[in-house]
Structure 1
């Protein structure tokens, strides 16, 4: 059975970069009829917060990305300790005592000598007596996994055949000096125990994947199929990381972005398939194909979500928006007509508010100097409210007869005088909803 996972750390809210990883793993699992696991990587007690854990679940539920199991790494510390002891027994785990400053000096020295800046394994030469002395002086050391210095190869689901020379990579630290288990060890244990078959994540994890493959094998686990998607950039190719604080899913939700608009974009962005708005999750699942994604950095522009959201909103039935329209104060006998008139002229549902304000209170007229006399003459011919759907046609015909104006020169100045805008709904349907005409003297 196909089993995937999404493994956020509850140290902040999910942003669009996280969503891309979550969605790909979700779609792979659902398309195969498998399982999707939500795993909270909360081994850091200082930074992990329950409010963020709740926020992650809330954001996924908003999008409809339901999980089959919820796992917390903080509840599995005994398992990680057992794995660490297993690696010690196999001679694949060793304790080191260098400070960050000492490690940095070593890296600089290696670079100056034209060598790759990898850990030199000097801790392997320490005797038991020397280790005891280091612990007495510096406290507990950090623990590194001893890599087999050979090529690590796998077929990546997006990047194709990959090969990394383990000799060019530092032995990864799996346990910090303060005893905290780091992501690499905890994730490997979880993937083994939960039977994870497919892992999709960002291309910045490629080297990490290579080391994890060796750790999985050392612990006797089965290596899952890995795929590394490209990283998102801003619309001009700039690093998106600087803007992620404004691209949290809850911020997009607050802006009125519709879930299916966001999912439809993220399910195709960076692939060879065109972005198509899906109306259901089943449609989204059926059209997903990870083999169509490429390795090039992928541009993300939040503004691309607005036309997709507009299309979602425009297709909503009146019953779904009726409570929102009622909350604006639109009379019950006008509510359905109001929705029919405005639905094609909004992007997000919050756009309904300004339309109703304009209809209720009247718009500030926009009248060009050359049209002032014409508009004043036209307003004298406008009948009193209430208006009907015939009012616009009858009125403009009368104005045309009186002034000789026609076409755009007739209609545009009148629209701008009545609505304060150059564009909007068909005036024959909008005019009956106008309760005040401020262009009248």
Structure 2
């Protein structure tokens, strides 16, 4: 079984989604289940409603999963196993204050060394511990030997005992730290493959260390995915969706990034057929919004007119054709909606052509159904006498909301809405 873990303490970012997509693809290729885990043990920082948003986004991207679990639901197991580790002297109560820990970190920084907990509380006797009334956290015993993990992309990785350190497993309120809860939950749910971000490189060996202390001997296959950088001020997935990018296009680009794909334009279902996680770039990748716009436009162009129309809030193939016409200028759903909204928005005047605009509006309000643009133009000339720029510029603005749109192409697609447009 594979799992995708996401914390409800922040937005889902592009790198998170890329990890989720890779987990989904590999689970399909291996014919294994995919578990979604909401890492909600950090109660103070959890954002209300964020876990619902995570699941909604995964569903929006058609990422199938077998089950959703919440780390907080396994609290009793996390605490019970922590007590077991303490009983075996593989974990201990730590009474050091936050100020003391900060002092150790500052001292290490001044000496240009990596911070290590000094292990002071590990030496406390049981009697001393019983007589201390201060709050405490629980720390794991530092490994006596180096910890090795096998990574599909990076090969064998060796971590020194000092890098693992005496890291915390329970907070002051006795809730588990994310890293500890993850190690225990991977055991509980019999996880076989962990595809996660490169940011977890130090956390994974710590999880291996916890499981070793518990004599859990199943080997978990690790793949740490390189990070995704971008020049976007907001790199959250929800932001891109709100900006009008299609989930299919975003997924297409995230799989394409740093990958030797057989073609540039594809769906997730097609990617399952050829994707090989061993072939993705071992270096960080850069997310280019211009490239996403290009792919988004291709996906929109691949839709039939009725489907595209429905996305824009209509059920009319003519509106779908109109949207495809506008794709010569724009590339997102949001931009298409803005174009369509301009057509249907009320227009009171046209700067520089105020009198002509009023004349045109009165003329078209009383106009019969007119099939072609040439027939429309002839009708207006006969009724108003307006010609050339005095006709075309204010007419373009009245029908499209801009003075420069080629209305000869647009009119046949909006003729059925003329009464609504010029009201």
**Both proteins in one fold, TM over 0.5:** yes
1:354-433 to 2 correspondences below 5 Å: 354-356=338-340, 386=370, 388=372, 418=396, 420=402, 429-433=409-413
1:168 aligns with one of 147, 155, 163: 163
1:339 paired to 2:323: no
Match of residue 316 from structure 1: 303
| 1:289/1:358 CA distance change after superposition, 3 Å | same
Distance 2:187 2:129 in 1: 32
Contact 1:363 1:418 in 2 (8 A): no
Q: Which of residues 17, 20, 23 is equivalent to 1:22?
A: 20
Mapped partners of 1:198, 1:212: distance in 2: 13
User: Is 1:348 matched with 2:308?
Assistant: no
Deviation of the 1:251 alpha carbon: 2.4
Give the secondary-structure state (helix, strand or coil) at the position aligned to 1:305: helix
> Structure 1 length as normaliser, TM-score?
0.76
Query: Are 1:259 and 2:240 an aligned pair?
Result: no
Q: For 1:198-221, what per-residue CA distance to the aligned partner results, in whole angstroms no more than 9, with x for missing partners?
A: 111121211111111111122222
Residues of 1 paired with 2:67 and 2:56: CA distance?
Answer: 15
The verdict on how the C-alpha distance between 1:366 and 1:353 changes in structure 2, with shifts beyond 3 A counting, is farther
Tell me the alpha carbon deviations over residues 46-97 of structure 1, each in whole angstroms, 9 at most, x when there is no partner.
Answer: 3335522211111111111121011111111111122112212332111111
5 Å-filtered alignment, 1:232-251, equals 232-235=228-231, 243=233, 246-251=234-239
Q: Deviations over 1:96-125 (max 9, x none)?
A: 111122122223334545654211212222
The CA distance in 1 between the partners of 2:3 and 2:351, in whole Å, is 56
Q: Is the 8 A contact 2:90 2:141 kept in 1?
A: yes
Separation (CA, whole Å) in 2 of partners of 1:363 and 1:160: 67
Residue 193 (structure 1) aligns with: 188
Give the aligned CA root-mean-square deviation in angstroms: 3.4
Structure 1 counterpart SS, 2:191: coil
- Is the Cα–Cα contact under 8 Å of residues 318 and 414 in structure 2 kept in the other structure? no
| Cα distance in 2, alignment partners of residues 18 and 319 from structure 1 | 33
* Superimposed CA distance per residue, residues 331-386 of structure 1 (whole angstroms, 9 cap, x where no aligned partner): x8xx433422431432223444454466678999999xxxxxxxxxxxxxxxx994
Q: Distance in 2 between matches of 1:337 and 1:66?
A: 34
Change (3 A) 1:287 1:345: farther
Residue of structure 2 in register with 1:377 after alignment: none
Matches within 5 A, 1:150-169: 150-169=145-164
* Number of residue-to-residue matches in the alignment: 382
> Cα 1:324–1:69, aligned 2, differ >3 Å: closer, same or farther?
closer
Q: Which residue in 1 is equivalent to 2:33? A: 35
Q: Which runs of 5+ in 1 are unaligned?
A: 368-383, 395-413, 437-441
Cα displacement (A) at 1:391: 7.8
